[in-house]
Amino acid sequence: MAKSEKQKMITGELFNVYDPELVAERDVARKQVEALNALGESDPATSEQRVKALFGATGEGVEVHATFRCDYGYNIYVGDDFFANYDCTILDVAPVRIGKHCLLGPKVQIYSVNHPADPKLRRNGAMGIGKPVTLGDDVWVGGGAIICPGVTLGSNVIVAAGAVVTKSFGDNVVLGGNPARVIKNLN
């Protein structure tokens, strides 16, 4: 039996971004995100409930400031004590797993989606490829940083503001630059 486009998306295979099931699921997520963003900071308890309903799984103490953006929501998994500051985007075509006690600065972007190198497949943005992103515990991503598809960061990692993380790194490091590199070890 042939895989659905959603199955292909989640397993990291080339998939049709405009598949009707996926379009409908993005529409549901968009409505949930709009309701979350409309709250602003006026009702933290309701905001947390909306985040818990949107994300695939959360720990306790999750806070997401407006304006937040994601594709599906159900592919985002965060641990206890998660904070996303203003204007964060998490494109969750593949799973995005974020550990406990993690902070995302303003305008942080996490991408788990890519497009094919072949221009014929890339035209009109119709085809995508998902690559999971994983952040360990106690990760702090500075404002404006970008985490690219397929990246895994260990625990106790600090990503400097504006860094572009294109590859994986282990525990206890400070990353900075474009492309990001280790600028300090944290022992």
Task: Please compute the mean of the pLDDT values over residues 31-55 and round it to a whole number.
Answer: 94
pLDDT, residue 171, reads: 98
pLDDT, residue 81, reads: 98
Catalytic entry in 100, 107, 115, 131: 115
When pLDDT is cut at 50, 70 and 90, the band that residue 100 belongs to is very high
115 catalytic, yes or no? Answer: yes
Length of the chain: 187
Q: With 90 as the cut, is the pLDDT of residue 123 above it? A: no
When pLDDT is cut at 50, 70 and 90, the band that residue 45 belongs to is very high
Q: Which pLDDT tens digit goes with each residue over 148-182?
A: 999 999 999 999 999 999 999 999 999 999 999 99
Domains of the chain: 5-169 (2.160.10.10)
DSSP sequence for 55-89: SSB--SSEEEPSS-EES-STTEEE-SSEEE-TT-E
State the Cα–Cα distance between residues 155 and 85, nearest whole angstrom. Answer: 20
When pLDDT is cut at 50, 70 and 90, the band that residue 124 belongs to is confident
Both structure tokens of 70: 């994601």
- Strands (E) across the chain are located at 15-16, 62-64, 69-70, 76-78, 82-84, 89-91, 96-98, 103-104, 109-111, 113-114, 127-130, 133-135, 140-141, 146-147, 152-153, 157-159, 164-165, 173-176, 181-185
The interaxial angle of helices 20-39 and 44-54, nearest 10 deg, is 170
When pLDDT is cut at 50, 70 and 90, the band that residue 87 belongs to is very high
When pLDDT is cut at 50, 70 and 90, the band that residue 1 belongs to is confident
pLDDT, residue 181, reads: 98
**Angle subtended at Cα 84 by Cα 97 and Cα 26, rounded to the nearest 5 degrees:** 65
Measured in whole angstroms, the distance separating CA 3 from the mean position of its chain's CA atoms is 24
Q: With 90 as the cut, is the pLDDT of residue 126 above it? A: no
pLDDT, residue 95, reads: 97
Average pLDDT score over the chain: 96
